[in-house]
Structure 1
Amino acid sequence: MRTIRSVLLPAAFVLPAALTLLSPAPSGAQELKDFGSFHVGGRQVSLSGYPVTESVFTQGAAPTRVDPNGDFEVEQMYVQYLVPAPQASKYPLLMWHGGGLTGTTWETKPDGKPGWMNYFFKAGHPVYVSDAVERGRASWARYPEIYKTPPFFRTKKEAWEIFRIGPPDSYATDPAKRVMNAGMKFPVEAFDQFGKQFVPRWTSNDAITQTAYHALVQKVGPSVVMVHSQAGNFGFHAALAAPDKVKALIAIEPAGAPLPGPELDKLKGIPMLIVWGDYVGTEAVWTRQQPASVNFARDLNARGGDVEWLDLPKAGVTGNSHMLMMDTNSDQIAGLIQDWMKRKGLMN
Structure 2
Amino acid sequence: MLADNTGREGFNDMFLRKRYATYLVDLPGRGRAGRTTAETAIRPLADEQFWFDIFRIGEWPAFNPGVQFPTDKDSLDQFFRQMTPDIGTHDMTKELDALSALFKRVGKGILVTHSAGGFPGWLTAIRSPEVRGIISLEPGTYVFPEGEVPEDMPSLTGTMKGIAVPPEEFNKLTQIPIILYFGDYIPENVTDKLGGENWRVRLQMGRKFVEAVNRHGGHAALVELPKIGIRGNTHFLMSDKNNNIIADHMAAWLRQNKLDR
Counterpart of 1:160, as a letter, is: F
Partner of 1:136: 31
Match of 2:209 among 268, 283, 296: 296
Counterpart of 2:181, as a letter, is: V
Correspondences of 1:175-190 after superposition (within 5 Å): 178-189=61-72, 190=75
Give a deviation string over 1:102-155, Cα, whole Å, max 9, x none: xxxxx20123311110100000100000122112332322343xxxx5457783
Counterpart of 2:2, as a letter, is: T
Distance 2:19 2:108 in 1: 16
Of 266-275 and 134-143, more deviation after overlay is shown by 134-143
Give a deviation string over 1:232-252, Cα, whole Å, max 9, x none: 11111100111x210010000
Give a deviation string over 1:18-42, Cα, whole Å, max 9, x none: xxxxxxxxxxxxxxxxxxxxxxxxx
Q: In structure 2, list runs of 5 or more residues that go unmatched.
A: 147-166, 188-192
**Pairing 1:278–2:164 present:** no
Residue 210 of structure 1: SS of its match in structure 2?
A: helix
Structure 1 length as normaliser, TM-score? 0.62
Larger Rg: 1
Q: In structure 1, list runs of 5 or more residues that go unmatched.
A: 1-106, 172-177
Alignment length (residue pairs):
228
Residue 119 of structure 1: SS of its match in structure 2?
A: helix
Residue 239 of structure 1: SS of its match in structure 2?
A: helix
**Pairing 1:162–2:54 present:** yes
Counterpart of 1:211, as a letter, is: D
Distance 1:130 1:205 in 2: 15
8 A Cα contact 2:34 2:87, kept in partner: no
For the aligned residue pairs, the C-alpha RMSD in angstroms reads 1.9
**Pairing 1:269–2:188 present:** no
Partner of 2:103: 217
Structure 2 length as normaliser, TM-score? 0.81
Partner of 1:45: none
Counterpart of 1:340, as a letter, is: W
Of 181-190 and 290-299, more deviation after overlay is shown by 290-299
8 A Cα contact 1:135 1:199, kept in partner: no
Partner of 1:324: 237
**Pairing 1:121–2:16 present:** yes
Counterpart of 2:214, as a letter, is: N
Shift of 1:219: 2.0
Identity %: 30
Match of 1:258 among 118, 140, 143: 143
Residue 314 of structure 1: SS of its match in structure 2?
A: helix
Which of the two has greater strand per residue? 1
Distance 1:267 1:347 in 2: 19
